[in-house]
Amino acid sequence: MSMQDTASSGVALWRLVADGIERGIADGRFAAGDKLPGEMEIAETYRVNRHTVRRALAALAERGLVRAERGSGTYVEAQKLAYPLRSRTRFSEIVGAEGREPHGRLIEATDDVATRELARELGLKVGAPLVRIEAIRLADRTPICVSTTWLSADLFPNAGAVFAATRSMTKLLEHFGVRDYRRGATRITAGIVDATDAARLDLALGRPILVVDATDHDLTGKPLVTKHSRFAAERVEFLVES
Amino acid sequence: MSMQDTASSGVALWRLVADGIERGIADGRFAAGDKLPGEMEIAETYRVNRHTVRRALAALAERGLVRAERGSGTYVEAQKLAYPLRSRTRFSEIVGAEGREPHGRLIEATDDVATRELARELGLKVGAPLVRIEAIRLADRTPICVSTTWLSADLFPNAGAVFAATRSMTKLLEHFGVRDYRRGATRITAGIVDATDAARLDLALGRPILVVDATDHDLTGKPLVTKHSRFAAERVEFLVES
DNA sequence: CGAAGTTGTCTATGATAATAGACAACTTCA
DNA sequence: TGAAGTTGTCTATTATCATAGACAACTTCG
């Protein structure tokens, strides 16, 4: 399984190893605190050079998923993010409650116009000007989800610039005078990650994602923003209230 | 977006470009036979070097998804639809089984009278009232065939309106209480597309078509509908059971 | 025919990926 | 204490990835 003797797939070997280990962590073969097999042993199971394994482990350590201890071994650090789905849902609060550090990063903010579906969700007319924000959210250094968010360009002028500065949807809404908001009906489906999102989420091609569509309303019920989010299924666990 | 100035994700750039193009083909932005944008234009949209685009296109060509023509352009290869010819043949099932999205569209529904040949096929008298339905069937957004279907106007009143609503011959028959049906003898010939069908199939003049004549019967053997279908030969491949 | 636009091929350069071997530094455990 | 096993670091080599430029070969269209 070297790059030299097989047709290249366009995915680096170290990435395949890293994804394999992460999958082992995600599905519980390696629990939090467990010691991973030695670098030599991993290299043998994947039939790869030890340095390639080290590259993979370094990538996982960079994201805080594992921690290497010289002379002893490499240990699993993290676990799935428990993500409760309530009407009052704030990414930063959920991540902070787990003792992890939430981050947000703007990928792109562009102008858009309302399709029929978007217009219905936001209570606007078809063709109304919108701001479309592509953003990624992380817990510590692990990407959790990418979201596409649409807001009315009339109600929230320069929303993209404000989000880039605050890195938080909650703070963006505060900036426009929205003190509180609630999440409306949430639709959850699943799919396979595409290449673009895979790169953004640092996720292997072909891995499952949870797709969440939701619209946030203010306390009077007026739609504020509608979102289309893709979560790395192996890094998160949705909790629905009973 | 080069490997030099961003943190590497372990996924090659050419792979991201190839996946993006393939997605465009899959969801119909590039239909079968379409000319892709020039290599330079693709390179600009993905912000990569032209050689990287060529690597991506080579990977797609390797799989037969596209075909490059020197001096002219790169074209989407008609992924021929594998169309098994069994006694129980449903267009939507065949297309769905290939992982493509079946569609049907009514072109025209008119009244007609039975010729001697139609009367023989449908077990009616010459001159009996018929409904003639002209429809087009697509896989994803690629037109596959146009069909002329005749039904007895006495047995299936307002068949045209029902087909327009359901867009499916199977559902039309269900609407009239036909739970199941079988295809009788099927005759296959070939010809050259005429101007009318060429426009409907989005096919170049002079291209070959597969012509299929068949009559469907209910489970007692009574004729229900008889069809005259013209398939774009370059987009379909009939499979006959051995 | 000629100009413009397209794909094909060549050379070249630098960064990354993967391999290989050797040894240091450290931990664990008998 | 010492042996075994672990991670960390170094040098070195080869192949792939991505960029860049130039030009050939071909098609299309006026």
Q: What Å value separates CA B48 and C1' D21?
A: 15
- Note the pLDDT tens digit of each residue in B125-174: 989 999 999 999 988 667 889 999 999 999 998 898 898 888 888 889 99
Whether any strand D atom is under 7 angstroms from the Cβ of B9: the reply reads no
Identity of the residue in B10, B14, B18 whose CB atom sits nearest the CB atom of A15: B10
Per-residue pLDDT of A117-152, as tens digits, reads 788 889 899 889 999 999 999 887 788 999 999 999
Compute chain B's Rg from CA coordinates.
22
A-interface mutation test, from B3, B6, B8, B9, most A Cβ less than 10 A away = B9
Q: What CA–CA distance (Å, rounded) separates B64 from B237?
A: 15
Domain range summary for chain A, segments of one domain joined by +: 13-76, 81-240
Give the model's confidence band at B1: pLDDT under 50 very low, under 70 low, under 90 confident, else very high. very low
- The predicted pLDDT at position A4 comes to 35
**Which of these CATH numbers, 1.10.260.40, 1.10.10.10, 3.40.50.300, 3.40.50.920, describes A13-76?**
1.10.10.10
Say what the pLDDT of residue B240 is. 61
pLDDT at residue B60 tops 90: no
What distance in Å separates the CA atoms of residue B36 and residue B24, rounded to the nearest whole number? Answer: 10
Q: Does the domain at residues A81-240 carry the CATH identifier 2.40.50.140?
A: no
pLDDT of residue A191: 66
Nearest CA in chain A to B62: A7
Segments of chain A scoring below 70 in pLDDT = 1-9, 27-28, 78-79, 189-191, 206, 239-242
Question: What integer pLDDT is reported at residue B225 of this predicted model?
Answer: 94
| pLDDT grade for B3, boundaries at 50, 70 and 90 | very low
Per-residue flag: B70 CB under 7 A of strand C: yes
Show which positions of strand D are touched by protein (CB under 7 A). 5-10, 12, 14-21, 25-28
A199–B9 C-beta distance less than 8 A: yes
Predicted pLDDT of residue B233: 72
Taking CA atoms, A209 is separated from A84, A169, A186, in Å, by 17, 22, 16
Say what the pLDDT of residue A5 is.
35
Tell me: the pLDDT tens digits for B66-98?
888 888 888 887 677 777 777 777 888 888 877
Cβ neighbours of residue B55 under 8 Å, at least 6 residues apart? Answer: B14, B17, B18
Closest chain A residue to the Cα of B15, Cα to Cα? A10
For chain B, list the strands marked E by DSSP.
Answer: 66-69, 73-76, 81-85, 102-113, 129-139, 142-152, 182-192, 208-217, 223-232, 236-240
- N- to C-terminal Cα separation, chain B: 52
**Closest to B128 (Cα-Cα) out of B109, B107, B114:** B114
Residue B2 has pLDDT above 70, yes or no: no
